Amino acid sequence: MSDETRPPGTLAQTHGQKPGLPRGSSGLPRDDVAEAQRERLLRAVIAAAAEDGYAAVTVAGIVRRARVSRSAFYDHFVDKEACFLAATGDACAVMFERIAAATQAIGRGEPALDRARAALRAYFRFLADEPEFARCLIIEAYAAGPRSLAGIVAAQEQFADNMRRWHGRARRANPDWPAVPREVHDALVGAIHQLVVGLVREGRTADVPGLEDITFRLHLAVYLGWH
């Protein structure tokens, strides 16, 4: 199933023909209304950027998808870039939480490689479940300016740092494992990223989980075969 024919992920579920939030004195607490507006806007900008490309996204298009007023948009964000950065930043945080939960579920007493495989599986599954966010993070974020590029770098550095910490714990449990240069973790992140890019660019985000085996074998080759 291509990205175009799949139902949207939860991070891009806009309200379509559903009514907007109540206007005026609705009886809803102001903070609740503001939170709901922000959530609608974040989902809308992800949906818009994934469908039309970041460059074509407009504030008018975002508020139309979110079914909130233009003034409500500017209550939360100064421009579309700020909205996009908030959306991808929040989604990245959720993604890393899912990965952490998956590795914690394995248990510290289990083999280190099982934890590595669980992390890969959780990452790939998250992208497949959220194809619009995947396209925003993997493709469209590069068109969103320097701050967005800095966010990409930060996300990749977080992946690499997670690998370094995992490898350090794994070597304490497996003293025969070889040490690897710091740059090796960065290289692994880059290799995995390139494999994901190819599928997302082709509209085949649903196939991303199929990368689990090859990337796990890459981990084995690098971490156990380094000399």
Cα 184 from chain centre: 23
Question: Rounded to two decimals, what is the model's pTM?
Answer: 0.90
Helix axes 30-52, 59-66, angle to 10 degrees: 120
DSSP 63: H
Whole-Å CA distances, 223 to 2, 93, 184, 220, 227: 34, 27, 9, 5, 10
CATH 1.10.357.10 fits 80-225, yes or no: yes
DSSP 49: H
How many C-beta atoms surround the C-beta of residue 205 within 10 A? 28
Contact 181, 227 (CB under 8 A): no
Domain ranges of the chain: 3-76, 80-225
Whole-Å CA distances, 225 to 72, 148, 168, 193, 215: 55, 36, 16, 22, 15
| Confidence (pLDDT) at 108 | 74
| Confidence (pLDDT) at 157 | 97
| Confidence (pLDDT) at 30 | 79
d(CA 86, CA 202): 26
Cα 44 from chain centre: 16
| Confidence (pLDDT) at 218 | 95
Residue 135 phi, psi dihedral angles, 5° rounding: -65, -40
d(CA 111, CA 7): 36
CA angle 85, 54, 99 (to 5 degrees): 50
Residue 107 phi, psi dihedral angles, 5° rounding: 95, 140
| Confidence (pLDDT) at 6 | 65
Cα 111 from chain centre: 27
| Confidence (pLDDT) at 110 | 87
Low-confidence ranges of the chain (pLDDT < 70): 1-6, 15-28
| Confidence (pLDDT) at 25 | 44
| Confidence (pLDDT) at 8 | 78
